[in-house]
Amino acid sequence: MSGSCCPLTLSSDFIGVATKSDLLKGERLFSEQGLREVPVRALVLVDPGETPHLEVQAVPDPVPGPGQVVLRVLACGLCHHDVLVMRGTLRRGVKPQVVLGHEIAGEVVAAGPGVADIRIGDRVATLQTNACGHCDRCQTGRHHRCRVGTGIGHTVDGGLAEYVAVSAHSVAPVPHGMAPEEACLLGCPIGVALKGVRDAARVRAGETALVTGATGGLGVHAVQVAAAIGARVFAVTTSAEKLERLEALPGVEQAILHGDVDFAELARAMTEDEGVDAVVDTVGSPLFRSCLASLAQYGRLVLLGEVGGERVPLSLAELVFRDALIMGSSGADREHILEAARLASEGKVRPVVFRKLALDQVVEGYHLLRERRAFGRLVVMGL
Ligand SMILES: [Zn+2]
Ligand SMILES: [Zn+2]
């Protein structure tokens, strides 16, 4: 790893981009002033739409501001969030001409003033939000909900670029030797799944947990997290072609095809009509009724995604008489990245990469995701 031979501890008295010799590595070229002479390649969302217009462009070199680090991007996952922005479904707060991507694994190549405990050459994974590190949320382990946070690859440019500037509070180290295409998934989706399953739904060993959208990037990891906790896992898919592969996923007790027979009926049949202790739903409104109908007494339904955006019918009596809980969960914090890294290192959760793409193949990836042809995550490499 470049830079690891002479680690440089960054502190508040470290200003700007250090010296040329600190930063001259790989293809990154600097002038005597420490500025790049070659522009950075990035994938810019020129125009969202059913077939989005994406363009590889030369963009200004990111300069680390106070509290920021610049990463050389090694890998960046393609999330359903990116698909929604590319399609134009999600527009609120999106920067015009945004560079997408928040699932980043990268190597620290520069740091701004006030950055401590991060060294040039460190390999890190990012959260989805640039956090301030000081507000009440950041101080209580909720960097992803920072009061003044900006969405990486949403409000500000993200990781579908050679280099990206992010908050030093929004990165966590990745295990030595972990492949970048796996490391980039530690925050979202693995950390997101961990927070949803362990913290929100509070799944415990011996309980039953049902995961919808189980072949998707989030679901495929939620299944494994629930299994790692010791739950009996039922994994639901609507795709007959993926059923066999889902059955082979570690931790799946029963793969369920949702189609002619509602998965709620099958879930009840498999639990002696009691229902499941937790439903981890990565799909949202299209499956809400079945998710609710699957719940046991004291069941918890955690919503991690919404693909439809429709309103749903809800019988309040059903909630009352079940003593049930419905909640949402999004994002992940640094602690989740660290725990996700531990689970991956111990082989308890295997990052599932469906395909690696080059920067100019992202539109292809967009169509694969929209048509739900992927099993697990698509990762952009070779940036
Ligand atoms: Zn994501
Ligand atoms: Zn904050």
The answer to whether residue 162 scores a pLDDT higher than 90 is yes
Q: Residue 220 class from Cβ within 10 Å (0-12 exposed, 13-18 middle, 19+ buried)?
A: buried
What's the token pair of residue 5? 């031979």
| pLDDT confidence tier of residue 309, bands split at 50, 70 and 90 | confident
Sign of CA dihedral 321, 322, 323, 327: negative
Both 37 and 164 in one domain: the answer is yes
What are the residues whose beta carbon lies below 5 Å from ligand 1 (ion)? 79, 103, 188
Strands 208-211 and 295-303, how do they pair?
unpaired
Nearest residue to 210 via CA among 328, 292, 285, 273:
292
Both 254 and 153 in one domain: the answer is no
Both 200 and 264 in one domain: the answer is yes
pLDDT of residue 28: 44
pLDDT above 90 covers a percentage of the chain that reads 87
**Average pLDDT over all residues of the chain:** 90
Of all ligands present, the nearest one to the C-alpha of 132 is 2
Q: How far is the CA of 78 from the centre of ligand 1 (A)?
A: 7
Of all ligands present, the nearest one to the C-alpha of 102 is 1
DSSP 3-state of 230 = coil
Both 64 and 163 in one domain: the answer is yes
Both 243 and 322 in one domain: the answer is yes
pLDDT above 70 covers a percentage of the chain that reads 90
Residue 336: inside a domain: no
Rounded to whole angstroms, the Cα distance separating 167 from 127 reads 9
Q: Is the peptide bond before 189 cis (omega within 30 degrees of 0)?
A: yes
| pLDDT confidence tier of residue 383, bands split at 50, 70 and 90 | confident
Q: How far is the CA of 195 from the centre of ligand 2 (A)?
A: 19
- Give the Cβ contact number of residue 32 at 10 Å: 7
Average pLDDT over residues 162-191: 97
Residue 90: inside a domain: yes
Residue 318 sits in a domain of what CATH number? 3.90.180.10
Residue 340: inside a domain: no
Of all ligands present, the nearest one to the C-alpha of 76 is 1
Q: How far is the CA of 332 from the centre of ligand 1 (A)?
A: 10
At position 123, the amino acid (one-letter code) is: R
Residue 103: inside a domain: yes
Both 265 and 203 in one domain: the answer is yes
Residue 136: inside a domain: yes
pLDDT of residue 249: 94
pLDDT of residue 38: 67
Choice among 18-32, 94-108, 323-337 with the minimum mean pLDDT? 18-32
Q: How far is the CA of 131 from the centre of ligand 2 (A)?
A: 5
The answer to whether residue 30 scores a pLDDT higher than 80 is no
The answer to whether residue 33 scores a pLDDT higher than 80 is no
Query: Which residues constitute the domain of residue 88?
Result: 20-185+351-381
Of all ligands present, the nearest one to the C-alpha of 129 is 2
Q: How far is the CA of 177 from the centre of ligand 2 (A)?
A: 31
What's the token pair of residue 297? 């007494």
Both 120 and 238 in one domain: the answer is no
Q: pTM of this prediction?
A: 0.90
Residue 238: inside a domain: yes
Rounded to whole angstroms, the Cα distance separating 316 from 207 reads 25
Both 147 and 283 in one domain: the answer is no
What string of DSSP letters covers 359-373?
GGGHHHHHHHHHTT-
Both 215 and 285 in one domain: the answer is yes
Average pLDDT over residues 241-268: 94
The answer to whether residue 156 scores a pLDDT higher than 60 is yes
What's the token pair of residue 227? 């299994």
Q: How far is the CA of 222 from the centre of ligand 2 (A)?
A: 27
Residue 300: inside a domain: yes
- 32 vs 132, residue with greater confidence: 132
Residue 178: inside a domain: yes
Both 163 and 208 in one domain: the answer is no
The answer to whether residue 292 scores a pLDDT higher than 80 is yes
Both 162 and 204 in one domain: the answer is no
The answer to whether residue 105 scores a pLDDT higher than 80 is yes
Q: How far is the CA of 14 from the centre of ligand 1 (A)?
A: 32
Of all ligands present, the nearest one to the C-alpha of 140 is 2
| Residues sharing a CB contact under 8 Å with residue 160, sequence separation 6 or more, in sequence order | 42, 43, 73, 76, 99, 100, 101, 153, 359, 362, 380, 383
What's the token pair of residue 334? 């640094």
Q: Residue 317 class from Cβ within 10 Å (0-12 exposed, 13-18 middle, 19+ buried)?
A: exposed
For 329-351, what is each residue's pLDDT tens digit? 999 999 999 999 999 999 999 99
Structural domains in the chain (count): 2
Cα 374 to Cα 3, 109, 239: the distances in Å are 36, 33, 11
Question: Could you give phi then psi for residue 111, rounded to 5 degrees?
Answer: -145, 145
Q: How far is the CA of 90 from the centre of ligand 1 (A)?
A: 14
Rounded to whole angstroms, the Cα distance separating 243 from 234 reads 12
Q: How far is the CA of 141 from the centre of ligand 2 (A)?
A: 10
Both 233 and 314 in one domain: the answer is yes
